[in-house]
Structure 1
């Protein structure tokens, strides 16, 4: 079982590799992906693909569109990876 904090730490690394000019310290749990971190539609696609690869999950497009904060994204990953039995 992975924790939200562990997912958050991995997301910080993933975002810093995906979002140009992002300083990892800018990424907070309540950061808005678009407003605070500058995630545009192309970056969102790259982030979703990287998340799917990293955690071996599939994120439906309607779910990806509804993830607006780092916390929401971490919670989705946590739920998606902990429901496989």
Structure 2
């Protein structure tokens, strides 16, 4: 599972409190990620994992867990 790496990327990209980032944390409600943050995070994830995240998948990211599950499938 890539949770720890995703957590690290979120902290580096949007500078939120690391302790708030849990598998169940909601990106918008709990972490305060807005659309610009989401784009920056998407680009950082794509670069880090050498993948492409399509817009539909990006819209489906509600929790940190959604990102981790997507990454795990994409790099499997």
TM-score bracket for the superposition, by shorter chain length? over 0.9
| Alignment root-mean-square deviation, CA | 0.7
Task: Name structure 1 gaps, 5 residues minimum.
Answer: none
Off by >6 Å, runs of 4+ in structure 1: none
- TM-score scaled by structure 1? 0.86
Aligned length: 76
Larger Rg: 1
**Is 1:11 matched up with 2:23?**
no
Q: Scaled by the length of structure 2, what TM-score is found?
A: 0.95
- Unpaired runs of at least 5, structure 2: none
CA displacement 1:12-47 (0-9 Å, x = unmatched): 111111113x11111000000000001100000000
